[in-house]
Amino acid sequence: MDSTHEEPSFNFPLFIHLNPDLEISMNYAERIQHLTGSVARDILSRCQDQSIISFAGGLPGREAWQGLDLPKPEVTSFQYGASEGDAGLRALFASRLGSIGVDVPTEQILVTSGSQQGLDLVSKLWIDPESAVAVESPTYLAALQVFRLFQAEMVTIETGPQGLDLERLEHVLKTHRPRFLYLNPTFQNPSGNCYPEDNRREIAAILDCYADHTVLIEDDPYRELNYEREEAPLPIVSHLKTANWVYLGTTSKIIIPGARIGLLAASGSFISELQKLKQAADLHSSRLSQQVVLELLSNSEWVHARMKHLQQVYRVKRNLMHEELLKHANEIAQWQCPQGGMFFWLRLNQRTDLKMALNRCLDRGVAFMPGDPFFAESTEHGQWIRLNFTSPDESDIRRFLPVIFETIGQGE
């Protein structure tokens, strides 16, 4: 018998990857044409490879790990669990939401693997190819990445320090009838804007008039990173009367992002569809992480001290960054000092080739985030940059911020 006939002819995935011709003929789903890489994550991976000082990502600073003793996981968390999340943690999230004006029963809450998973689940539930989805301009770029994957038709609404453009909102809701409106109104990524109370109430009143077709998705990861006042204004969902809503929260910015624990709360019966989507996506979020988060957040003294610590260290860095920007960027850019969150959002006085400037910066050991990917329209503004102030050390802020503006200044 010819020994070659004894070889089974399975199409091992490994073989497919090793054979470029076969790879070309693979039948990917149509939506994969709409799959874009995240610019931020690309820059981040280059930063990790080359120990570059990064102002590009949205990472906590190393002070966030200081004195952070994580509880040891118990055997009970080694087992598979419920898709909707552990009961104790959902109840705790319900009570935290109640304290910011969002009265929602525990059954209407899912524990998610970060709020990023919440974005994926709502996209799966509501977006068909060419469905209209309304987003802020600018908006969170990884939300755009998911909405694009599901082939949403993005409709934009201007946002600024005074909040959302209400006239445009009304027009968009009336004429485009978006499946949902995605907002990050509290210390927004990337702009740092925090919508004033009045603007929030007006947005809610307008949404209530279009409750039959548009759901509000409120993404609220930065609420606790609040440097100027006792409390950030209540979420917009707390003002809604008839419109449906989904609220996304996370523990990434207040505990550790590596735990990947977020929450999704929803107003309607569609929570059961979201729960099934969650089941299909990952069965459930890490039970080890859920246990750790529950134990930490159940201790109100710990929570209070933790918030004070983070607010204090990030406030110092924010103030330093603002001072350094006044020294090095005043001639070439404009910005507002953010009241919370993790970012400065700068508008350059002139259009600049920011890809070239970024490459030059990377060669000099520092990274920033060009602003264009935060706009849903593919226009090249070449005029915006986002700078993270929570991750770099104070000495790095002093040393490397001038390098960024020297490089950008040369490119003008």
Residues at the contact surface with ligand PMP, assessed by CB under 6 A: 58, 114-116, 140, 184, 189, 219, 221, 250, 252, 257, 262
CA gap 378, 23 in Å, rounded: 29
- For ligand PMP, which is the closer residue by CB, 109 or 408? 109
Q: In what order do the strands lie in the sheet with 262-266?
A: 109-112, 262-266, 245-250, 215-219, 180-183, 132-137, 153-160, 163-164
> How does 237-255 read in b/e, with b if 16+ C-beta sit within 10 Å?
bbbbeebbbbbbbbbbbbb
In whole angstroms, the minimum distance from the beta carbon of 101 to ligand PMP comes to 20
CA gap 168, 40 in Å, rounded: 29
Q: What is the largest CA-CA distance in the chain?
A: 84
In whole angstroms, the minimum distance from the beta carbon of 58 to ligand PMP comes to 4
- For ligand PMP, which is the closer residue by CB, 188 or 214? 188
Please name which of 260, 294, 232, 276 lies closest in space to residue 102, comparing C-alpha atoms: 232
In whole angstroms, the minimum distance from the beta carbon of 250 to ligand PMP comes to 3
- For ligand PMP, which is the closer residue by CB, 60 or 328? 60
CB distance 204 to 159 below 8 Å: no
The DSSP bridge partners found for residue 155 are 134
- For ligand PMP, which is the closer residue by CB, 81 or 192? 192
In whole angstroms, the minimum distance from the beta carbon of 12 to ligand PMP comes to 33
- For ligand PMP, which is the closer residue by CB, 55 or 140? 140
Q: State the Cα angle at 63 between 61 and 64, rounded to 5°.
A: 75
In whole angstroms, the minimum distance from the beta carbon of 252 to ligand PMP comes to 3
In whole angstroms, the minimum distance from the beta carbon of 182 to ligand PMP comes to 10
What is the rounded end-to-end Cα distance, in angstroms, of the chain? 74
Please name which of 340, 104, 82, 122 lies closest in space to residue 230, comparing C-alpha atoms: 340
- For ligand PMP, which is the closer residue by CB, 392 or 405? 392
In whole angstroms, the minimum distance from the beta carbon of 103 to ligand PMP comes to 23
Please name which of 114, 107, 79, 105 lies closest in space to residue 257, comparing C-alpha atoms: 114
Which one-letter DSSP state was computed for residue 32? G
In whole angstroms, the minimum distance from the beta carbon of 356 to ligand PMP comes to 26
- For ligand PMP, which is the closer residue by CB, 139 or 407? 139
- For ligand PMP, which is the closer residue by CB, 58 or 61? 58
In whole angstroms, the minimum distance from the beta carbon of 257 to ligand PMP comes to 5
- For ligand PMP, which is the closer residue by CB, 191 or 407? 191
CA gap 406, 328 in Å, rounded: 8
In whole angstroms, the minimum distance from the beta carbon of 115 to ligand PMP comes to 4
Phi, psi of 68 (to 5 degrees): -95, 100
Residue nearest to ligand PMP (CB): 114
CA gap 160, 185 in Å, rounded: 10
CB distance 152 to 187 below 8 Å: no
* DSSP string computed for 70-121: PPPPPGGGGS---TT--HHHHHHHHHHHHTTT----GGGEEEESSHHHHHHH
- For ligand PMP, which is the closer residue by CB, 41 or 398? 41
Please name which of 297, 257, 247 lies closest in space to residue 65, comparing C-alpha atoms: 257
